[in-house]
Amino acid sequence: MKAGLIYTSTTPELIELVEKEVKEALGQDTELFSLQDPSILAEVRDAGYVTAAPAARLVGMYMKAVEEGCDALLNICSSVGEVADAAQDMADYIGVPIVRIDEEMCREAVRKGERIAVMATLPTTLEPTKNTIKRMSRECGKHVELVDCLVEGAFGLDQEQFKKRMAESAGTVADKADVIVFAQGSMAYCEEYIAEMYHKTVLSSPRFGAKELKKALIRKGTMQSRHSC
């Protein structure tokens, strides 16, 4: 079995955590095929939204992973998650699921609370994540209130500086939220730290994405469910 991991951000913390979660979900013998193009996120950041050229390159990465024999793909960047949504008809046709790393996380946030704080270091990640939470709230038939938390100046910091900046920003929204959502998978190593500091439910995407990747492979028939006869 071969899983495609599609990155537009390549911090060591993100890659290590995603690969760990995927291996735990799918099995240690799963072959991982990673494709990385940081220029996609850079162009999205510069433009403030997903323009045609980076979207086209991302779709090209999907197709490259398909050509290399991947059974399913995990789209890891939330900033371009809506490109993955747009590619779903194609994914269904070719029989290679494209799973968004953050979709089930957003659904879980709606299940867990009515006031949801969304933390991001980039405005281009904040809005797509909020849009996904709103979509999940409609699907769940539940109204939610969203609280923005843009962690300015945190992008590119080392781990200790990043954790400190995250803690400071989380403190500005903790009293306003039932649940705190990390919009970027690269934030995930701060999850327990923030949860313990503010005694809040904190959600990050890698573990949710890995579990959804497994479900997609079970639906496809590539993996066996533990409950199968």
**Chain segment 72-112, per-residue pLDDT in tens:** 999 999 889 999 999 999 999 999 999 999 999 999 999 99
Question: Do both 76 and 134 map to the same domain?
Answer: no
> Does the pLDDT value for residue 227 go beyond 70?
no
Specify if 122 maps to a domain.
yes
The model's confidence at residue 223, banded by pLDDT at 50, 70 and 90, is confident
Residue 226's pLDDT is: 58
CATH number at residue 69: 3.40.50.2300
Average pLDDT, the chain: 92
Give the structural domain span for 155. Answer: 103-204
Residue 152's pLDDT is: 84
Question: Do both 146 and 61 map to the same domain?
Answer: no
Q: Give the 3-state DSSP-derived string for 100-151, with helices as H, strands as E and coil as C.
A: ECCHHHHHHHHHHCCEEEEEECCHHHHHHHHHHHHHHHHHHCCCCEEEEEEC
> pLDDT tens across 15-61, in order?
999 999 999 999 999 999 999 999 999 999 899 999 999 999 999 99
